[in-house]
Amino acid sequence: SQTIHQWPATLVQPVGSPLSLECTVEGTSNPNLYWYRQAAGRGLQLLFYSVGIGQISSEVPQNLSASRPQDRQFILSSKKLLLSDSGFYLCAWSSRTRGANVLTFGAGSRLTVL
């Protein structure tokens, strides 16, 4: 069966520090991968999605970046965090063979920038 792992689950970082959130998917190959952010009391904002290794589409211009060094690995990064980067970050995947419609989410990573 397919599983998705995100880490770390919780992170507290000072303003200006770097960030790396990692997401891996098991039990499938060639998935579509996504990073969403959920700010407090707000809905989901799509940040990045990827349809293959090295293929990243950015939805919102900001100080975050994403990389996909391997087929089932998706990394969210920042060189210098801002206060506004605080939120709940969710990684998700979908199967291309079953259509890009159904997303399976990880448990999320809660980032607090102080």
Partner 1 sequence: GNSVTQMEGPVTLSEEAFLTINCTYTATGYPSLFWYVQYPGEGLQLLLKATKADDKGSNKGFEATYRKETTSFHLEKGSVQVSDSAVYFCALSGASRLTFGEGTQLTVNP
Interacting residues toward partner 1 by CB under 8 A: 6, 32, 34, 36, 42-44, 46, 49, 51, 90, 92, 100-108
Which residue lies nearer to partner 1 by CB, 67 or 108? Answer: 108
Shortest reach from residue 20's CB to partner 1, in Å: 19
Shortest distance, position 49 Cβ to partner 1, whole Å:
6
How far CA 57 is from CA of 2, 97, 98, in Å, comes to 24, 20, 21
**Which of 101, 110, 14, 91 lies closest to 47, judged by CA?**
91
Q: How far is the CB of 106 from partner 1 (least distance, A)?
A: 5
CB 90 within 8 A of CB 35: yes
